[in-house]
Structure formats: C-alpha cells, structure tokens
Homo-oligomer: A and B are copies of this chain.
Amino acid sequence: MADLHIKINRDKGGIAGQIASELRDSIRGGRLAPGTRLPATRDLATDLQVSRGVVVEAYEQLVAEGFLVSRVGVGTQVTPKTAARVNNTRQRGTAPPRPKPVRRAPGTPACAPYYGHRPTSPDLSHFPRERWLAAVRHVLTTVPSDALDYGDPGGVPELREELAGYLRRVRAADVRPENLVIVGGVAQGLSLVLHVLTQHRTLRLAVEDPTSNRQAPLLRRAGAHLVPVPVDEQGLDVRKLSGDAVLVTPAHQYPTGVVLSPPRRAALMEWAYAGNRAILEDDYDAEFRFDRDPVGCLQGLAPDRVILSGSVSKALAPGLRLGWVAAPAELAEAIRRARGELDLGSPVIDQYALAHFLRTGGYDRHLRRMRREYRRRRDALVRALAEELPEVRVKGIDAGLHVYLELPGDWDELRTVRAAQELGLSAEPVGPMRELPGPPALVVGFARLPAHKAAEAVWGLKVRMSGQSVD
C-alpha cells in the first residue's frame, strides 16, 4: 500500500479536487508507480480527516481520466503500463472486422454550407464585448512596439504561459509553454498537425463514426486517409480501432455526446503505446460540463502520445479564430516551424488580449456565467423533450452546447431537421456524419434557445412531426 503524502489546504476548498491533483502529480512524477495499489477510500479518508465521499470523488475523477483503475476484488490501483489490457480488448476471440476506409472524391465537401451558425456555436449575444474591448485597450496602451512586428509563429509567449497554466488547472493537461502552439482554432490545429505528420509518410487516421462531417474534408485535404471506427455508449470502440493515429473527442464525443469510458481510455492509451501511434484529442467544448467537473484531458495522461487541440470558439466566439495545440516538444517545434513557413503565425493583438483576459480572471468569470446559462437551457430543452416527445431519446452526458437526439425508427431524419430549423432551432442531420449505418438522429444546438422558449419549440416540433404521415 502506498504512502501518499497528500497535502490538503483546508482554507482553499475543493478538497476532492486537491486530492485528485496531488495523486495525479504523484503518478506523473513516478512517485506512484504503475500498478501501485491505493488505500481503501475509508482508510484514506480517516488518514486525511475528510469524509469518505470526498476520497471517492477524487478516485472517481482519476478513474475517469485513466490514471487509476478500480476493479472488484483488487481495489483501486494506478493504471498498469503493461500490454495486458491490449490483450483484454483486442485479442479476445478473433480480431474485429476492419472497417472499410472511407471513400469520397477528394475535395468533395461532405456538407453544403461551410460557414455561419452551427449547432455548436455559442450564444454570441453574450460575447463580453466591453471586457474584450478593455483587454484590447490594455494591449494597445501597454505592449512595446516590437510586439507588433513579425512575431514568434508559435504564438505570443505571454499567451502560451497563461494558457499552459489554464490547461493544467482546468483540463488537467500536462503542458508547458514550449508544448503550445497558438493557432487559428481547432481546424487549423488539426491541419497543421496532419501537415507535419504526413510530410514523410502516408497516415491512416482513425476517426469516430459518427463524427463532425465538417472535419472530413479538412482531414483529407491535410493528407490523411480516414478509417471510420464506430462509437457506442462508451465512446470510441477501441477494439475496432486500426490506423496509424486516431482523432477522438473523449470529453464529449461529437455528435453523440457520450464520454469515453475509463476502460476505453486505458485501452486507447495501450493502443497508442503498443504501436507508437498518435492520439489527436479534440477538446472542442470541454469548458461546458454541467453535472460535475469535466473529465481531465487524455493529454494529461500521456503527454508524449497525445496531441491536444482546443480553442476559444465555444467559450468566447468562433470569429476570434484563436486556439491552441499542445504537443510533445519536438512535434510542437515542427508545427511552429511549419507555421513560420506557411503563414507566420496568428495575429498578435488578440493573443495579448486573451492572455490579459486569462490573467485577470475575465475568462473564468465569463465561463462560469455561461455555464450556468447553458445548463439552464439544456435542462429546459431536455425536460420539454421528455414531456412532449418521450419517443425521442436524448443521448450523451450533461455537457456542451448541443444535444444528440435519437429518433424513432420511422421518423425521417431530414424532415425532422427541417422542422426543427423552421422553428429557429440550429439542427443538423447525423446521417451525413456517418460512414457506418446507424439509427436516424439529429444534433440540436441549444446555446441560442432561451430556457423559457424550450417548451414552445419542442411543442412546435411535436406538432410538425405528428403530421409527418399526413402530407
């Protein structure tokens, strides 16, 4: 049994988070070796003089993140770094059937409009205009002239410093400023990563199925060959995974809204380590988890294997075109060099403004306010659906800016989407997001649907869809 040396600051609050953070650091630092058994929650609670529920919460968080595994009869232990789990997931019985690679003519877009409002767009009427302007004013009245010259294509150092702290704190990422490249959003982040990864070899990139159909043309243009892998209630089905790398949305799968389960996280890690493969983690809306703290990012678990991409598109506005890639230092340097030879980096004023916004707490305050608001909106929509349209199944966790609605088998996907759009809802069919067969479903964004209008919208949908066999 390990001696954990956990230090708690009782004045700070968030005791479970503190315990989780201390344990995470110990596992990363090697002080808690893979396979080490942890004390029973009851014992640790007594040692630390906290309630048992607090320790349970900390353990659960780390299990969800993949640092710990918990098994009946064995207790909780630090995730072993053996290939044992690969055997569990991949060699049980015969090999899983390999899905066919996706075929689509190069350059053929998978979706018609390539800009405008999306189901994942935030409510931009809440964009903090005054506070953003104040941040820009701060920048323009304080930065030295040289800051406006040709800049580091990897991004403004002040922003990388602030972001590294933010991602460590909020996403449990294992990241330092030199791992970060500031980019123009997740799309550019992925383009650049694939540009570098495909420079000297072909890359078979496994993608979740269903997945955002906006990304497929982007991934192909960047040189990747896509291999769809099915997603179920536990997220990506790792047993069916093949390819040289994988693109996943572990915190909140797009579009299904499920979270990658702890065994799957562990299996995914094993897959990556077993074949020296890369995991591209798209952390597109992890700021918005409503029922609990978001699951820490995969990158924090395996910073040498995982390339994390995120942006301010959901937290602030897509129009800012501001995001980041966190990658192992060598790859980060290759991406930075690529940007130095592609577009010389992102505009600097907004980078300084975001650094200021992060440093002064404006970003966190805005997120807290929006989280409360979006939670109300999601709750209202889900409640209205349960009351008026119980045959429509809301899937996925309590998070993000969209819900995934599985429709009764006899509903027409496109008709439902059109009906939703007529009601002013931001809706998209899931069909075009699939290569593999699946039930009819749609994605509905709720960020712009005020809570008090949810019932009316769902009622309208019910009316429209009840007449579906009439006209």
Contacts and interface: CB of A to CB of B under 8 A. Distances in A.
Contacts of A63: none
Contacts of A317: 148-149
Contact of A124 (B145, B199, B222, B321): B145
Contacts of A153: 114-115
Given A124-B148, A132-B140, A146-B124, A347 B347 contact: yes
Interface stretch (A18-26, A90-98, A158-166, A184-192): A184-192
A79 interface: no
A343 B319 contact: no
A407 interface: no
A231 interface: no
Interface stretch (A266-274, A333-341, A376-384, A427-435): A333-341
B129 A141 contact: yes
Chain A interface residue number, banded: 35 or more
B117 A341 contact: no
Given A153-B115, A347-B350, A350-B350, A148 B319 contact: yes
A257 interface: no
A346 B184 CA distance: 8
Interface string A117-153: 1100100110101101100110011000111111111
The residue in A147, A191, A317 that gathers the most chain B C-beta atoms within 10 A of its C-beta is: A317
Contact of A127 (B129, B145, B152): B145
Contacts of A124: 145-146, 148-149
Interface string A306-318: 0000000100011
Nearest to A121: B149
A115 B344 contact: yes
Contacts of A187: 341-344
A116 interface: yes
A154 B344 CA distance: 19
A175 interface: no
A378 to B, nearest CB: 20
A149 B116 contact: yes
A157 to B, nearest CB: 12
Interface of A: 107, 109, 114-118, 121, 124-125, 127, 129-130, 132-133, 136-137, 140-141, 145-153, 183-185, 187-188, 191, 199, 217-218, 221-222, 313, 317-322, 337-338, 340-350
12 contacts: A115-B340, A117-B149, A117-B150, A124-B148, A129-B140, A148-B318, A184-B344, A187-B344, A191-B341, A217-B341, A321-B345, A321-B347
Sorted nearest first, the 9 A-B pairs with minimum C-beta distance are A188-B343, A124-B145, A319-B348, A148-B319, A148-B317, A114-B340, A321-B347, A184-B343, A150-B318
